[in-house]
Amino acid sequence: MLTSLVLANLKLIYRDRQAAFWAIAFPLIFLLIFGLFNFNDLNPVDVTVIDHAGNELSESLIADLDSIELLELEAGTIEADARQDVVDGESKYLLIIPEGLDPTTNPGDLTLIYDESEFQTNQLVEELIRRFLDGANLRLQDVEPLLSLTSQGIQGRPVEYFDFLLPGLIGMGVMTFSIIGMGTTIAQYRQQRILRRIQATPLKVRTFFIAQVLAWLMLSLLQTAIIMTAGTIIFDAVIYGNYFWVLPLVILANLTFLNLGFIVGSLSKSVQAASGLGNLLTMPMMFFSGVFFPADSLPSIMSSVVKYLPLTPLLEALRGVLLDAQPLWDFPVQLALLVGWVVVTAVIAVKTFKFE
């Protein structure tokens, strides 16, 4: 009986185009959109330099600055034109070395002019030049630096944004599919009195819902497999860890999502209402639980709330096992949170359920 019911449910969900959209297309669309951006390579920044001093010191400063990989220096001639270029957005940075600069007789003030709209790189460029000048100052005063930094770049695993995004999309896909899918299904079954009709048969209602959950679990694993395959093959995301750990994680977290879907279905009078309520539940988690960006980049008050949402521990554990190749048991806190959510939502689901 259970097998027939699970099969019937699989057929029903498979034949529902809207469900298929939420399951597969929705996460893949995100994959596609984010694939168009390039978050990894920082392009060199063009800096126009006007050298009013034109002496040995200024030339050596320019030569040293030019050796910084991130900066691409370009000599300018007329200050007024160069300033206008920044205003017009034709160049981003203008560095002006004042006339008669001399370390002993005429200590000078260099000016950096930049376009304020370029807020991402402004800080970086300004800081870079400031540091550079600090170093130059010390050398010019013949002071031996007391503290120095020797940095050793160790070639770690090059985790790119895409690799980071893929586990996020797996979690998001499973969450939206299950909450909205299960929610609308239950609402529809109640609205059309299908639950009542089932209740009129000798079948135990429990069996009906177990079959329902099994079908959705199976589909969410299929969905995960499709997203992972598409992500790695088409979009070149790299997975370092053990694929296997994804299985128990997705199942565990999905039990919570299915419970939430069940609650949504019980609280909604119509399919449309269930869809709306489902979105209301999934949207904040999608943005705050770290699907697209790390959750800890949020303001601390928010991130301390957000880390308890059911999607957050799933994503943390998924990234841990997939990106850092850690075993599942390295995440006891996340696992405890996930189990806790399953229990709490199951209790609420049972309490809110009604046949009509």
Partner 1 sequence: MSDAVIEVRNLVKRFGSLTAVDGVSFTVERGEVFGILGPNGAGKTTMLECIEGLQKADAGEALVLDMNALQHPEKVKDRVGVQLQASAYFERLTLTEILNLFGKMYSRHVEPEKLLEMVELSDKANAVVKVLSGGQKQRFTLAASLVNDPEVVFLDEPTTGLDPQARRNVWELIERMHDEGRTIVLTTHYMEEAQHLCGRVAVMDSGAIVALDSPAELIKSLPTPLHIRLSTSVPVPMEELEGLPGVQQPVTLDGDHYVLPSVSAEATLPALLQWLSGKGAAPLHLEVISATLEDVFLELTGKELRD
78, 143, 147, 200: which one contacts partner 1 (CB under 8 A)? Answer: 200
Cα–Cα distance for residue pair 213/260, rounded to 1 Å = 12
Which is nearer to partner 1, 212 or 254 (by Cβ)? 212
| Residues contacting partner 1: total by CB under 8 A | 20
* Farthest-apart Cα atoms in the chain, separation: 101
CB-CB contact of 262 with 351 (8 Å): no
Does residue 29 touch partner 1 according to CB under 8 A? no
Does residue 158 touch partner 1 according to CB under 8 A? no
- The CB-of-319 to partner 1 minimum distance in angstroms stands at 37
Does residue 199 touch partner 1 according to CB under 8 A? yes
- The CB-of-26 to partner 1 minimum distance in angstroms stands at 20
First to last CA, the chain: 24
* Binding segment toward partner 1, per CB under 8 A, in 57-65, 139-147, 190-198, 243-251: 190-198
Which is nearer to partner 1, 206 or 329 (by Cβ)? 206
29, 203, 325, 344: which one contacts partner 1 (CB under 8 A)? Answer: 203
- The CB-of-19 to partner 1 minimum distance in angstroms stands at 10
**Any long-range contacts for 23-30 (C-beta under 8 Å, 24+ apart)?**
23/173, 23/177, 23/181, 23/219, 23/220, 23/223, 24/173, 24/223, 24/226, 24/227, 26/173, 26/176, 26/177, 27/169, 27/170, 27/172, 27/173, 27/227, 28/227, 28/230, 30/165, 30/169, 30/172, 30/292
Which is nearer to partner 1, 201 or 297 (by Cβ)? 201
The mark string for 1-20 relative to partner 1 (x by CB under 8 A, - otherwise) is: x--xx--x--xx--xx----
- The CB-of-238 to partner 1 minimum distance in angstroms stands at 39
Q: Pick from 280, 284, 266, 283: which is nearest to 348 by CA?
A: 266
Cα torsion 199, 202, 205, 208 to 10°: value is -110
* Binding segment toward partner 1, per CB under 8 A, in 141-149, 185-193, 244-252, 297-305: 185-193
> What is the DSSP code (8-state) at residue 269?
S
Which is nearer to partner 1, 154 or 200 (by Cβ)? 200
Cα–Cα distance for residue pair 111/115, rounded to 1 Å = 13
* Binding segment toward partner 1, per CB under 8 A, in 23-31, 106-114, 189-197, 273-281: 189-197
Which is nearer to partner 1, 147 or 200 (by Cβ)? 200
Per CB under 8 A, residues contacting partner 1 are 1, 4-5, 8, 11-12, 15-16, 188, 192-194, 196-197, 199-204
